[in-house]
Structure 1
Amino acid sequence: MFRNQYDNDVTVWSPQGRIHQIEYAMEAVKQGSATVGLKSKTHAVLVALKRAQSELAAHQKKILYVDNHIGISIAGLTADARLLCNFMRQECLDSRFVFDRPLPVSRLVSLIGSKTQIPTQRYGRRPYGVGLLIAGYDDMGPHIFQTCPSANYFDCKAMSIGARSQSARTYLERHMTEFTDCNLNELVKHGLRALRETLPAEQDLTTKNVSIGIVGKDMDFTIYDDDDVAPFLEGLEERPQRKPAPPTDEPAEKAEEPMEH
């Protein structure tokens, strides 16, 4: 089918039952720098990779404070993330003012889902081009939630979103059973190791390109940047070197075959 007939507006369905504008917004999340979220019995941790537009620019913030018990990390359009973050802050303030209690994390995520669903169903608006990992702690314990431009949200044990995030998810799946009983330092190390998997072989984590957010029992949401990250990185073992691919003894005519995409 001709895709461009059905992707001009968010209210138009394709014959395959797809809304292409929402799928394009999901692709924007995959272009953002990677971020990882994971939790234990007592804490929830966010670890994010910061980017700089150029050597002349400072690194952009990837982890944002929402309330004493909630913080978010972002992948996608930063401007959209700021708008959603301001909405979340207002909802948390309203809960404290009206009910004199922190807003439950699951309730806030539900409100975000409702807000992001509106532009997926109205003509003349576009979906939010950002994915969020929401870390929080309430009466139910620590939480990690993922939200999508499609207005779906998921309660996760651990998750990674952004560019090359599949490598981080593979690490998280491999070590998921260890997270529950981890202490805080070991949980952060797992997050850093997972984030490191998203980097090219020639790069490594530094105090300049990593940001960490932690919330837990008897601990307000705290963001660690720059030199504050150094103690966590010092305890991290060196990245194992990837072995180069062994040379192949293929005949010369094989090299002329077209590569698969």
Structure 2
Amino acid sequence: MFRNNYDNDSVTFSPQGRIFQVEYAAEAVKQGSVVVGITSKTHVVLVAVKRNAEELSSYQKKLFPIDEHVGIAIAGLTSDARVLSNFMKQQSLGHRLTYGRSMPVRSLVEMIGSKAQTNTQHYGKRPYGVGLLVAGVDESGPHLFEFQPSGMTEEMVAFAIGARSQMARTYLEKNLDKFASCGREELIAHGLKALKESLVQDKELTVENTSVAVAGAKSKDGGAKAEPFKVYDGQEVNAWIESVADEKEAAAGGESGEGMDVDA
């Protein structure tokens, strides 16, 4: 009723125990374009739909490398994402210079969680209006973490954030049992299919609006080498998009042919 009395800063609770500025930041994440992350036993994949503000503008980047073994996908305010990504790069570089090895993904995620949660404790600060999917590989294998503006972080097998992400999550839930055994190409295909579920009817995945990022872990038997985190844009993603489109057309053709009599 008197919301304006309780949303002027992030340290004032409403009578219902809510912090409205944290909820506003979470709403900013829901307004961002959708990003999807999936892990298997060997790889972690991020896929994202990029937006452009108008026809004459370029598409906004959604995937950013942090270190050679980890990167992020963003949904929400890009300016806030830039602050967090710079912080993560500094921490990763400092850890590498100090210890001579890459930083564990969980430790990095816990650091940005603590940094974001601090903004909900001190007067004059505000929550970061961005959600992240942090994907990377370390000695324990591939990992995918979700970061929320409240500072909460969780490890996920597969997840999606952003506008209309519930439809992508529904696809991920239906196919959850398949992901663990998927190879690199299969995992990317599942990510793109989940992304397509979240698109509005008149929109399609194209080389201009789609980004893919992949990182792979070193196999225990030494058969496969570790694959550094790499972002693919433009024509690099064309083959993946076409393969998903071909599968959809083949499935549609199979359904239309059911029940039809064909003369020999």
The answer, yes or no, to whether TM exceeds 0.5 is: yes
Which 5+ residue runs of structure 2 have no aligned equivalent?
218-225, 253-264
Provide the rounded CA distance (Å) in 2 between the counterparts of 1:124 and 1:94: 29
Provide the rounded CA distance (Å) in 2 between the counterparts of 1:173 and 1:57: 35
Matched to 2:17, the amino acid is: G
Matched to 2:238, the amino acid is: A
1:201-240 map, 5 Å? 201-217=201-217, 218-236=226-244, 237-238=247-248
Provide the rounded CA distance (Å) in 1 between the counterparts of 2:239 and 2:96: 34
1:72 corresponds to? 72
2:255 corresponds to? none
2:258 corresponds to? none
Say whether residues 1:200 and 2:208 are aligned partners.
no
Deviations 1:59-96 (A, max 9, x none): 01100010010010000000000110011011110011
1:149 corresponds to? 149
Structure 1 residue 28, shift from structure 2 partner: 0.3
TM-score normalised by L of structure 1? 0.90
2:259 corresponds to? none
Matched to 2:105, the amino acid is: V
Matched to 1:235, the amino acid is: S
Which 5+ residue runs of structure 1 have no aligned equivalent?
242-261
Provide the rounded CA distance (Å) in 2 between the counterparts of 1:80 and 1:7: 20
Which shows bigger deviation, 199-208 or 128-137?
199-208
Provide the rounded CA distance (Å) in 2 between the counterparts of 1:83 and 1:24: 19
Matched to 1:191, the amino acid is: G
Deviations 1:19-39 (A, max 9, x none): 011001000000000000000
Equivalent pairs: percent with the same residue? 53
Provide the rounded CA distance (Å) in 2 between the counterparts of 1:167 and 1:103: 33
1:250-261 map, 5 Å? none
Deviations 1:198-236 (A, max 9, x none): 111111111111000000121000100000001111211
Structure 1 residue 238, shift from structure 2 partner: 2.9
Provide the rounded CA distance (Å) in 1 between the counterparts of 2:4 and 2:130: 23
1:158 corresponds to? 158
2:223 corresponds to? none
Tell me the C-alpha RMSD between the 2 structures. 1.1
- SS in structure 1 at match of 2:119: helix
Provide the rounded CA distance (Å) in 2 between the counterparts of 1:56 and 1:233: 24
Provide the rounded CA distance (Å) in 2 between the counterparts of 1:204 and 1:53: 17
- SS in structure 1 at match of 2:159: strand
Provide the rounded CA distance (Å) in 1 between the counterparts of 2:241 and 2:51: 18
Provide the rounded CA distance (Å) in 2 between the counterparts of 1:156 and 1:146: 7
Structure 1 residue 137, shift from structure 2 partner: 0.2
Matched to 2:194, the amino acid is: A
Matched to 1:213, the amino acid is: A
Deviations 1:165-218 (A, max 9, x none): 000000000000000000111100000000111111111111111000000121
Provide the rounded CA distance (Å) in 2 between the counterparts of 1:161 and 1:8: 27
Provide the rounded CA distance (Å) in 2 between the counterparts of 1:181 and 1:29: 31
- SS in structure 2 at match of 1:215: strand
Deviations 1:1-50 (A, max 9, x none): 42222112111101111101100100000000000000000000000000
- Alignment coverage as a number of residue pairs: 241
- SS in structure 2 at match of 1:120: coil
Structure 1 residue 134, shift from structure 2 partner: 0.4
Matched to 1:80, the amino acid is: D
Provide the rounded CA distance (Å) in 1 between the counterparts of 2:50 and 2:68: 23
Provide the rounded CA distance (Å) in 2 between the counterparts of 1:231 and 1:60: 22
